[in-house]
Amino acid sequence: MATADISAKDVMALRQKTGLGMMDCKKALVENGGDMAAAEAALRAKLKGKMDERTDRAAGEGRISIEVSGNGAAILEVRAETDFTARNDSFIEMADNAARESIDQATGDGPTDIEFTDAMKAALDEVRITTGENISFGKGIAFKGDSFGKYIHHDGKLGVLVQFDGAVPEDLATGICQHVAAHVPTPLAVDEHGLPSEIVEAKRAEATKEAMDLGKPEEIAGKIAEGKMRKFLEDNTLIGQKYVKLEKETVGQILPAGVKILNFVRMRVGADSTED
């Protein structure tokens, strides 16, 4: 088909579908005889190849997405090169859809690492092509259950998902998520049973040595060491920490009667691992 036979309307339609320049779209239509579908497919294949060559470009920006449904929840990270792209509506929609579709992967046996499906990757490729950036999925975790709280910081780069056993008012569930996001130090586990044994043993050995170095009798040194351990557990477990919005009560004390915290995930864009 001759160049003159390619209408401006067709060029504009292809541009709207791909987000590419008018000249690129017109050239693709000419090369494919005016066939809109073929031109679009050719453009996407060509541009995806170019984008695959750019995966070594730093992607230090991005967004955390959290979705909750009646039977589960998911939290995941999508990385981008610029904050501008991470705030793009199509980027946010793609991330939210991926989180929503991931919920069904939860097994019910605690946290489930998300496997990003071909459909999710295809949707991500669409955004990669239209933005021209190196965009990729990062971490992702799904849970099965019916009681959750969620919080995403205003910049979209930090998110928290908390799973409860029992009903929790939405404002309190959100508040506990905000606590996990803001508290220093960040909780290492829900309670002492969730702390890695090597961390507990190392801290106990350190506390005992410090007490013995004071020259106290063994019995008194033992009590000093136990006091240090109690403080360590209060500072580093979610239910032991003073709730940031009240400070006089712990997170464990503000929970409704009979309610337990089962899991939490604190996820930040660019972090090497989830901070749970």
- Give the CATH fold of the 196-236 domain: GTP Cyclohydrolase I; Chain A, domain 1 (1.10.286)
Question: Alpha carbon of 162 to those of 109, 169, 191: distances in Å?
Answer: 15, 13, 14
This prediction has a pTM of: 0.79
pLDDT digits (tens, 9 = 90+) for 65-74: 999 998 999 9
For the chain, which residues make up each domain, given as ranges?
3-52, 61-191+238-268, 196-236
**Does 19 score more than 70 pLDDT?**
no
CATH top-level class of 3-52: mainly alpha
Mean per-residue pLDDT, 102-114: 93
- Provide the residue type at 27 as one letter: K
Q: Which residue has the higher pLDDT, 172 or 6?
A: 172
Q: 187 in helix, strand or coil?
A: coil
- CB neighbours of residue 105 within 10 Å: 18
**pLDDT recorded at residue 190:** 97
| CATH class of the domain defined by 61-191+238-268 | alpha beta
Alpha carbon 116 to its chain centroid, in Å, reads 13
pLDDT grade, residue 23 (50/70/90)? confident
Q: How many CA atoms lie less than 13 Å away from 104 in the CB half-sphere?
A: 6
Residue 238 has pLDDT above 60, yes or no: yes
Q: 3-state DSSP call for residue 202?
A: helix
